Structure 1
């Protein structure tokens, strides 16, 4: 019975993973979904038995039709959602897309209207604040070559007990 009580307290978060791709100017590739009012990054939910990295690779292929190398983890964001419960989101470094990869992009028409490389200001204008914070923190982590832990897209304050 104690195991069941412990089980009911354990978190069972939804997990999602995506990749940040950059152009030569450091702008981030964003996609315009058909089913949302704001822009997103390529990515989606992690399926049962799938790692976050493999989910990012799969989602990029499904959404954009390309399989560029996906690199290091840039950010992990704990971002629960009232409607969906606990969520843990992983962002990986997709690096700078080659001209060949850009030429091969074929968006999944049922899901995406368009894509574009956006500056920090454009990201803030075209997406929700929590996602903009996550993307900008991950881009900064890439520049610093160190992954970052976030809560709702922000670095949590250090706490001493």
Structure 2
């Protein structure tokens, strides 16, 4: 390796992972954080040494108090934030929550104050645009059995 290669800056994105859950009618589960306005999907930043799927499972357990199986990767999104820098965000398929799983939801009350299911056609009204694009792409990836790679929530064509 040359000296110029050693001193070259490399991206060090903040990485986060979440899971997309559905009810039996196909609505998406969203959570409302207590520390900021708006809705999100269950998830959060990864810990050192943690894989994206492990982070998604941990965040779901912390926020919702449940441990349903986390399925396949739906979306990987390179989404730099104007003030927070580079981000790499993963969304996994949490599947359809059965009535038994729904009955076990126990919100942490610290980070998450409430949850609700919303139709896919209502997502834009509840999510910030960059997250709405990511969740729409994840819903499409789920129905087409694909995995989407996005940049700022937009698929590359």
Return the TM-score normalized by structure 1. Answer: 0.93
Matched, 1:82 2:82: yes
Q: How many residues align?
A: 155
The answer to whether the Cα contact below 8 Å between 2:24 and 2:98 also exists between their aligned partners in 1 is: no
Return the TM-score normalized by structure 2. Answer: 0.95
The match for 1:116 is: 116
Deviation at 1:49, TM superposition (A): 0.6
- Give 5+ residue unaligned stretches, structure 1: none
The CA deviation string for residues 13-49 of structure 1, in whole angstroms up to 9 with x for no partner, is 1100000001112111000111121100000001111
**Paired residue secondary structure (2:67):** coil
Matched, 1:55 2:40: no
**CA distance in 2: counterparts of 1:74 and 1:120, whole angstroms:** 16
Deviation at 1:54, TM superposition (A): 0.2
The match for 1:150 is: 150
Query: For residues 132-151 of structure 1, what are the structure 2 equivalents within 5 Å?
Result: 132-151=132-151
- Give 5+ residue unaligned stretches, structure 2: none
**CA distance in 2: counterparts of 1:40 and 1:110, whole angstroms:** 15
**Superposition RMSD in Å:** 1.0
Deviation at 1:61, TM superposition (A): 0.2
Query: For residues 65-104 of structure 1, what are the structure 2 equivalents within 5 Å?
Result: 65-104=65-104
Moved over 3 A (4+): none
**Paired residue secondary structure (1:94):** strand
**Paired residue secondary structure (2:149):** strand
